[in-house]
Amino acid sequence: MTTNDIMKSRLKYNRPSLRARARPPKNRTPLGEAFSAANMGTSLQLQCCVDCRRFQYPSQEVCQVCLNDNLVWRAAAGEGHIISQTTLYNSLWEFFKRRIKQKPWPIATVSLDEGPIVFAHLDVEEFDKAKILDVSESTQVKVFSHYDCSMRSILIATSKDIFTDTKEARRKIVTRMSLSEPAFRDGGI
């Protein structure tokens, strides 16, 4: 590798806009890493208190209610309703900058029937556009986890009627939303 090549690769490292493929944020706290590990390949696993059986999100060291530190990962159905939703028109992160250039990025706050409130990428393709603007308990959604192209678990909210029981079905949704591989064709060099 010539000095010129080394300098070019350093420039790409320092300037995400020059990278061929941008990646979503990768850094997580140790508890965030534990969430990613627990959710790898599953539909949705949330921390659950052994004593009061309450689910919680985000992951914490102790139960939010009884302060018990005996927490386990349990499968959650992920059904709930949207309590707020918004659309991002700007991002400082290169991965989302490239996507937002093509269309604004929708996200939602979802109140799960199991208790926790989560932030999730919103799969608007599966909703009636008029209905999704109606933020109410009538907008029933299903939240599932999936790994993004940084191999970290993210949450996706899609319509309650969409089939998400298999890994393949979930992967298709995440790929369509350009959050996972195959790589997003964004015109990067």
CA distance 156 to 164: 11
Which tokens sit at 174?
């995440």
- Compare residues 20 and 67 and give the one whose CB is closer to Zn ion: 67
- Candidates 11, 20, 62, 65; binder of Zn ion (CB under 5 A) is 65
Tell me whether residue 49 or residue 157 sits nearer to Zn ion (CB atom): 49
Q: 132: closest CA among 176, 81, 189, 167?
A: 81
Interacting positions 74-103 with Zn ion (CB under 5 A): none
Q: Spell out, one character per residue from 25 to 54, where the chain touches Zn ion: x when CB under 5 A holds, - when not.
A: ------------------------x-xx--
Examine residue 151 and tell whether it contacts Zn ion (CB under 5 A). no
End-to-end CA separation in angstroms for the chain: 19
Asked if residue 72 binds Zn ion (CB under 5 A), the reply is no
Among residues 9, 17, 60, 68, the one that binds Zn ion under rule CB under 5 A = 68
The per-residue b/e assignment along 33-62, b for 16 or more CB within 10 angstroms, e otherwise, is: eebbebbeebbbbbbbbeeeebbbbebeee
d(CA 68, CA 125): 41
Asked if 121 contacts 147 with a C-beta cutoff of 8 angstroms, the reply is: no
Gap between the Cα atoms of 152 and 48, Å rounded: 20
**Among positions 63, 108, 154, 157, the unique one binding Zn ion when judged by CB under 5 A:** 63
**With respect to Zn ion, which residue has the nearer C-beta, 65 or 75?**
65
> Does 66 interact with Zn ion (rule: CB under 5 A)?
yes
Please tell me whether residue 74 adopts helix, strand or coil conformation.
strand
Q: Tokens representing 35?
A: 């969430």
Tell me the closest approach of the beta carbon of residue 72 to Zn ion, in angstroms: 11
Give the total of residues touching Zn ion (CB under 5 A): 7
Which residue lies nearer to Zn ion by CB, 46 or 49?
A: 49
Q: Contact residues for Zn ion (CB under 5 A)?
A: 49, 51-52, 63, 65-66, 68
